[in-house]
Amino acid sequence: MARIYPLFSSSKGNSTFIGTEKGGILIDCGVSFKRLSSALEVNKIPLSAVQAVFITHEHSDHVSGLKMLTKKTGLAVYGQKRTLQRLCDADKISPESPVIDISGYTISCGGSEISCFNTPHDTIQSCGYRIHTEDDKYCAVCTDLGHITPEVDNALTGCRLVLLEANYDEYMLRRGPYPLYLKERILSDNGHLSNDASAEQIGRLIANGTTHFILGHLSQDNNTPPVADRTVQEALDAMSYKRGKDYLLGVAPVETRGGAVIF
């Protein structure tokens, strides 16, 4: 059965494993090798089950542990060409690890077929991933985007499960302590997705058959799991969608304590 393990999810570190204890893939490595190894162990996933790592973009909360992971394992690193070049230039990937551009391709790895789609974010390149598992299920991981583009919407449509960014509550952000330039960056079309925008997209996806949702990449300064959960549910209530009947909703933990979502 297809499983997704949100190992780490916040503005300070992100990593997701998709697969089983026999094999799978890692999306991003934004925590130390030690913390990642411990998280996998908590979920009874041997490190040897990780068959490759797929990088969304080069910001530190997605790649800070990548150098040590690749040094210890020699795992192949997949991503978009400019992202991979930036990471290699910054010595973020061990020379022993193959570096493979996934742009425009579908890659078979870890029992799944994986493709990427562009996301609008303030970095050299940024993408999400759509995964087709060996038991014929589709899921997607989509964080770090300022708005939903037609390409993003198309990539998410038809998935059974979507891990979607719900980074901030707009009220908390606007009235919080961040300097104005940072607030404007987060609010921009190349920033992050708000709880409200996430709810709007989830409503569209439910209408097209998606049933499982995980809210991810929550800001620890401008959001909380209860606020994100409540905001999305209230928006879906207004669309006449019933939780537990039309959809299942959860919030990815800052750090896993064990547990997967089976879809």
- pLDDT at 141 exceeding the cut of 90: yes
Q: How far apart are CA 125 and CA 114, in angstroms?
A: 18
What's the CA gap between 205 and 154, in Å, rounded? 10
Three-class SS state of 263: coil
88-126 residue pLDDT tens: 999 999 999 999 999 999 999 999 999 999 999 999 999
9: tokens are 């999810």
3-class DSSP state of 176:
coil
Hey, what's the torsion of the CAs at 52, 102, 12, 232, to 10 degrees?
-110
| Averaged pLDDT for residues 188-196 | 98
Task: Quickly state the pLDDT bin for 14 (edges 50, 70, 90).
Answer: very high
Q: What is the mean pLDDT of the chain?
A: 98
* Tens-digit pLDDT profile for residues 23-55: 999 999 999 999 999 999 999 999 999 999 999
* Interatomic CA distance for residues 130 and 159, integer angstroms: 8
Q: Is the pLDDT of residue 1 over 90?
A: no
Q: Are 125 and 78 in contact (CB under 8 A)?
A: no
HSE-CB for 22 with a 13 A CA cutoff: 5
Question: Is residue 113 exposed (0-12), middle (13-18) or buried (19+ Cβ within 10 Å)?
Answer: middle
The whole-number average pLDDT for the span 142-168 is 98
Q: What pLDDT, on a 0 to 100 scale, did the predictor assign at position 2?
A: 84
